[in-house]
Amino acid sequence: MIHINLIRENSEDIIERLAIKGLDARSEIMGILNLDGERKAIKQRLDQNLAEANILARQIGDMLKQSKKEEAEVLRNRTIKLKERSKELEQKFSEAEQKLFDKLVLIPNVPSRSVPKGKTPQDNDIVLTNGAMPVLNANAQPHWELAKRYDLIDFELGVKISGAGFPVYKGKGARLQRALINFFLDEAIKAGYQEVQPPILINEDSGFGTGQLPDKEGQMYHVGIDSLFLIPTAEVPITNLYRDVILKEEDFPVKNVGYTPCFRREAGSYGQEVRGLNRLHQFDKVEIVQLASPENSYTVLEEMQTYVQGLLQKLGLPYRVLKLCGGDMSFASALTYDMEVYSGAQQKWLEVSSVSNFESFQSNRLKLRYKDKEGQMHLAHTLNGSALALPRIVAALLENNQFSGGIKMPEVLHPYLGFTEIV
């Protein structure tokens, strides 16, 4: 949620930058400023009323000491009217606060000035491309065929148990999942991240804190009887560990990593894009989350996206890094890098990670603050990234490393797998 002070001080700049996300926000921003003005005016009248009532209370006390009961009674009647008026103003102030809040939560985060303009994924900037493209023979198969051939993943059995988008991993397929999770966690720990194992169900406050609510209700699975949501990503519970927390400047950097299953309804997805592991309702992911000072958060963002690139390099996967344009960014992000791996048999790029800086957008909702060395309070900046999401990594590993008699596994996974090839 954009802090109201930023809107007061930089309204024109905010309107201009929100246009990069495709939003004509002038009327909304002007409406917010008008509501803020009304709220401040009500607060001023309320404060004046309360101050006058306090003065009269002291005067009444002095008069009673001087046995001036009649004069005191006149003032007491005035204080009764002031209290009644104060109650009315308190109600109006509360209503004005709620109206302002309801407007603010609907405004997306302001994109960084470095975000490219554009409306669709085709307008994203390709920052770099790394690695040689796989050379496959004419009989190369997509991962869903390989999974069936080597009995690694059973998509039909998942349909029987739950429905489409809930695969069953079997044998070496299950071991590959576990190997990747452990490899990603171990690499993050080496890089200074603290491992946490958060809940995979969240309440509405947690969903609001990181910007999933009230923006993405339709994309999350809702447990109605308990009013809980299955997490779409570990970002949500890990970042919410710091809701209503006050840190010290010397606490930075705060670095956490966690593995969780993730759940997304993916409403509206169809066609070739959802074949096999390309798009699932349940999948595994390792997430890195950092908290940083505003002065350092973009340095941290570059560090995080470089770290994720390192994982892809160790797995031997060709990849590219995209800087998302305004129209392709999330509601809460100020700047996002996407990492895509090349899927040889499908001959397409598959997104496997998003690394984002949310600046103070989430921390304003979370009330996540820190004290600087002078004791001044500030909102922290929050960042997160997939490090990594498994399904499309598995798809690319199977497709790119296939040969006539099997599938080779990356060397870094051998200690975790207990085998070097799937044959």
Residue range 355-411, pLDDT digits in tens: 999 999 999 999 999 999 999 999 999 999 999 999 999 999 999 999 999 999 999
**Identity (one letter) of the amino acid at 163?**
G
Give how far the C-alpha of residue 83 lies from the chain's centroid of Cα atoms, to the nearest Å: 44
pLDDT over 70 at 316, yes or no? yes
What was the pLDDT predicted at 20?
96
Q: 231 in helix, strand or coil? A: coil
So what's the pLDDT on residue 73? 80
Average pLDDT over residues 3-30: 96
The pLDDT value given to residue 207:
97
Among the residue ranges 46-60, 91-105, 110-124, the one predicted with the least confidence is 46-60
Tens digit of each residue's pLDDT (9 = 90 or more) over 38-51:
999 999 999 999 99
CATH topology of domain 4-104: Helix Hairpins (1.10.287)
What's the confidence (pLDDT) of residue 403? 95
Q: Closest by alpha carbon to 264, among 274, 272, 255? A: 274
C-beta neighbour count of 356 within 10 angstroms: 25
- Is the bond into 214 cis (omega within 30 degrees of 0)? yes
- Please, where are the H alpha helices in 2-132? 4-18, 26-65, 69-104
Query: In whole angstroms, how large is the CA radius of gyration of the chain?
Result: 28
Q: What is the per-residue pLDDT for 266?
A: 81
> Which one has a higher pLDDT value, 57 or 83?
83
| Residue 169: closest CA among 177, 159, 181 | 177
The phi-psi region of residue 67 (left if phi > 0; otherwise alpha if psi is between -120 and 50; otherwise beta) is left
**Dist. CA 210–CA 203, nearest whole Å:** 12
Q: What is the mean pLDDT of the chain?
A: 95
Q: Rounded distance, CA 193 to CA 275, Å?
A: 34
Per DSSP, the residues of 298-328 read HHHHHHHHHHHHHHHHHTT--EEEEEPPGGG
pLDDT at 352: 98
- What average pLDDT score do residues 315-343 get? 97
pLDDT tens per residue across span 228-262: 999 999 999 999 999 999 999 999 999 999 999 99
Could you tell me the residue ranges of all domains in the chain?
Answer: 4-104, 121-422
List the beta strands (DSSP E) in 164-232: 168-169, 194-195, 201-202, 222-223, 228-230
Q: Kindly provide the residue ranges of all beta strands, DSSP E only, lying in 146-226, ordered along the sequence.
A: 153-154, 168-169, 194-195, 201-202, 222-223
Per-residue confidence band for 169, with pLDDT thresholds at 50, 70 and 90 = very high
Tokens coding 250: 């010397």
Name the band, by pLDDT with cuts 50, 70 and 90, for residue 70: confident
**Cα separation of the two ends of the chain:** 52
218-242 as b/e, with b when 16 or more CB fall inside 10 Å?
eebeeeeeeebbbbbbbbbbbbbbb
Q: Which two tokens stand for residue 71?
A: 């004069």
Of residues 253 and 71, more confidently modeled: 253
Stretch 94-113: mean pLDDT? 96
Distance of alpha carbon 276 from alpha carbon 183, whole angstroms: 23
- Kindly report, residue by residue over 260-298, the tens digit of the pLDDT: 999 999 865 555 577 999 999 999 999 999 999 999 999
* Pairing mode of beta strands 254-263, 194-195: parallel
Q: What is the pTM of this model?
A: 0.93
Q: pLDDT-based confidence at 67, cuts 50/70/90?
A: confident
Contact between 398 and 147 (Cβ < 8 Å): yes
Query: Residue 423: which pLDDT band, with cuts at 50, 70 and 90?
Result: very high
> What SS3 class is residue 350?
strand
Indicate the pLDDT class of residue 216, thresholds 50, 70 and 90: confident
Domain 121-422: which CATH number of 2.40.30.10, 3.30.930.10, 3.30.428.10, 3.40.50.2300: 3.30.930.10
